[in-house]
Structure 1
Amino acid sequence: MRRPAGLAALAVVLSIGLSGCGDGEKKDYAIPTSLCGVPVDPQLLDPLLPPGKKIFVEEGHYAKGVPREGCSVIIDGDVWLSVYGEWRKAGFTALDAAKDHVVGGGGFNTTPNGDIASWYRGAATAFSCRDKEWGAYSTVAEAVERDGRKANEEALKKFIAPYSKALAEHLPCRDAS
């Protein structure tokens, strides 16, 4: 009995499609629903994280001339994503934040209204947020490239805007926008 050609082709396509689904290609951990105490949409975070077995989110406070805090997403012992925010002077922009985090500068993409700046492995925003000393707050998400895995600039841009909006709700801003 002869099998229809369509079934044979489907079997080949399925075997090719499933060949990349080995044990090292899946996420055996739950995607976080918050980072740095800020709620996140796991569907926006998922494309930024690699396959692996164990996930850990480490929070920290950093010093870089301005008050800065953030967290790192660690999978199987390696940092894969860092998200942090910094208090800034009034008028600080997303592009200013990007320039602060890219060694050598250049290669930036900005949205038409300038609310997001991105580069090959990161994205940044800045928004008005007055407190006693500062006038703005910037947020940066940076992915690590290793083991042949490239950062996903489009996914970083999709992630940073809602994350920053949720973060603004947790800050003591007198005029968050």
Structure 2
Amino acid sequence: MNTLRAYAGRRSIVIVSVTAALLGTLSGCSDHKEKRQYAIPYSLCGIPVDSDTLAPFMPPGRKISVRQDLPDGFAARCEVRVDSRLAVQASQEWLSGPNTAYFVGGQANSKLGHQAEDGRFLYSGWEAFGETRSCKSEKLLGNHLFTAFQMHSSNHQDTDAMKQLITAYTNAVEKTDTCKQGLPFKSQP
């Protein structure tokens, strides 16, 4: 009986040792991370962005595409896709709302627990919203121009980076003819 227990004990040790060795070998094989095989964009549909700040949010993949979507003259979305998956969306929208909180409404996917400039910018670790200071359009019923920056395919979160991205993006939008002249959005030639 003791011989049987001793054999069973050694057998358990052997099984555990073989399992541990196998797991070590398998984890060594999966240790290489997927890599990013594309260049991080320096602009999104004509609006400059800091590629170094954007890079940690970008997923691994092979091919990147950037496409502008103009559902109407009141909004412009710039979609960045990596291997056909939506990775980033930057938006501009003319809206008659009074502030950024009104603009955000039901479109935020996370709790926007941070704000800057007395609520002009609202942001979380992976999405941010802003209001331009000087973009108004009498042609578009006195609307204000708002901005959004949303990450879609990354687990990376960084509130400081999102604040940087939305602030720089909004400031760049303020320099466009669309803002300065209060124009509706049109397709780029």
TM-score, length basis structure 1: 0.72
* Greater Rg by CA: 2
Q: CA deviation at 1:57?
A: 0.7
CA 1:41–1:119 in structure 2 vs 1: closer, same or farther (change >3 Å)? Answer: closer
Of 169, 172, 178, the residue aligned with 1:163 is 169
2:84 is matched with which residue? 77
CA distance in 1, matches of 2:172, 2:76: 15
CA 1:169–1:100 in structure 2 vs 1: closer, same or farther (change >3 Å)? Answer: farther
CA distance in 2, matches of 1:175, 1:61: 18
Q: Trace 1:1-177 onto structure 2 (pairs within 5 A).
A: 22-24=32-34, 26-63=35-72, 67-89=74-96, 92-102=98-108, 107-127=112-132, 128-131=134-137, 132-133=139-140, 134-145=142-153, 149-174=155-180
Amino acid paired to 2:36: K
Amino acid paired to 1:118: Y
TM-score, length basis structure 2: 0.68
Tell me the secondary structure at the aligned position of residue 118 of structure 2: coil
Q: CA deviation at 1:48?
A: 2.1
Q: CA deviation at 1:125?
A: 0.3
CA 1:120–1:43 in structure 2 vs 1: closer, same or farther (change >3 Å)? Answer: closer
Q: Which has the higher helix share?
A: 2
Fraction of identical pairs, as percent = 25
CA distance in 2, matches of 1:21, 1:34: 33
Q: Say what the alpha-carbon RMSD is for the aligned residues.
A: 2.8
Aligned residues: 151
CA distance in 2, matches of 1:51, 1:69: 26
CA distance in 1, matches of 2:136, 2:59: 37
1:82-131: CA deviations, max 9, x gaps? 11110022x6322222234126x855421252221013531000124122
1:5-24: CA deviations, max 9, x gaps? xxxxxxxxxxxxxx997250
Amino acid paired to 2:91: Y
Q: CA deviation at 1:75?
A: 0.6
**Which stretches of structure 1, 4 residues or longer, exceed 4 Å deviation after superposition?**
none
Kept in 2: contact 1:29–1:55 (CA 8 A): yes
1:130-155: CA deviations, max 9, x gaps? 22223310000111146xx2444432
Tell me the secondary structure at the aligned position of residue 130 of structure 1: strand
Uncovered stretches (5+) of structure 1, i.e. residues with no partner: 1-18
Kept in 1: contact 2:112–2:122 (CA 8 A): no
